[in-house]
Amino acid sequence: MAGGKIKKEKASRATTNHLQGGIPFHKSKGQHILKNPLIVDTIVQKSGIKNTDVILEIGPGTGNLTKKLLEVGKKVIAIELDARMVLELQRRFQGTPFSNRLTVIQGDVLKCDLPYFDICVANIPYQISSPLTFKLLSHRPAFRCAVIMFQREFAMRLVAQPGDNLYCRLSVNTQLLARVNHLLKVGKNNFRPPPKVDSSVVRIEPRKPLPPVNFKEWDGLVRICFNRKNKTLGSIFRQKTVLSLLEKNYRTLQALQQLQRGHSEDTEMDVSVLGDTGEDVSMDIEDERDEDEMEVENGGAGGEFSEFKEKILGVLKHGDFEDKRSSKLTQVDFLYLLSLFNKEGIHFS
């Protein structure tokens, strides 16, 4: 009997570690509740919330952060997927002065239409970090800022600068659309249940206005460049797959322009095209093959193909990009490179 009691007590303690208000948390759904009130206070303080602000909260859980947001803002709109958490939120604030200033929407934030809001403050499930970031940045009218808790490595990719090890497509695409700053690191033991990794809070401020760039074109260029970010651009743009793709685009657009002048000059303003930021091989470039095999040698292909290769390399040489690497290029560098290619009729979408 004694042994049975010990086991029962251990099981009870283990279960309690994953409960708040009697609700079990599901790690598979990214439910890690921030339990440290000092960090909650710091997040709210660093958000710079005004008493006239409508605040969007994503994944409010049991409402620890929600309560603090209601104390400083005009209204909180909380989007929660878990019906149990929705009921807990409603129960927690029912009959309080906050009840008429809280709107709870049950649903998947990636699938529902976002309402108007001035500022977003959220501790989100980490598996939706990338699509949610770009969904927010594509929202109109643009909000003032978002203060979001991310998995630490993802957060450091968002703020990475040229030359940093974590500088990648995600860094470039996010910083094209917004100013991003790291606010604070949050250790995993500040959550219940604790996740496997540390977190960081990041401030995201959308750029107003957005840069006048065709985002499909931009994404096409950046995908190619960051497929092998530590190779020189001269090496990347000599690859057979890249040259074939760009020449196909070139021939197609030449034909289209005969029918519709100025088609390629239209600015594509749908920023959601930048949201697919997985470390993909988007151009089907086979990194496992030897670089020499992947490159088109001079005279090794048909005359037209060799001529197009020289056109590409001519652009790189003109802008002094041939020996530079994507991992070291700034936003301005990429914008300039894209403009040089476009000037020569070379497009990426």
Token match 């530079």: residue? Answer: 324
Q: Is the dihedral of CA 263, 264, 268, 274 positive or negative?
A: positive
Which residues are annotated binding-site positions?
32, 34, 59, 80, 108, 123
Helix runs in 145-260, H state only: 152-159, 169-177, 215-227, 233-236, 240-259
Burial code of 58-83, b = ≥16 C-beta within 10 A, e = fewer?
Answer: bbbbbbbbbbbbbebbebbbbbbbbe
Query: CA-CA distances (angstroms) from residue 289 to 173, 239, 323?
Result: 28, 11, 21
Which residues are annotated binding-site positions for S-adenosyl-L-methionine?
32, 34, 59, 80, 108, 123
User: H or E element: which one contains 18?
Assistant: none
Which of 215, 226, 148 lies closest to 184, judged by CA?
148
How far apart CA 283 and CA 328 sit, in angstroms, is 21
DSSP, residue by residue, 57-124:
EE--TTSHHHHHHHHHSSEEEEEES-HHHHHHHHHHHTTSTTGGGEEEEES-TTTSPP---SEEEEE-
How far apart CA 105 and CA 255 sit, in angstroms, is 49
Query: CA-CA distances (angstroms) from residue 26 to 7, 23, 29?
Result: 23, 10, 5
Q: Which amino acid is at 282?
A: S
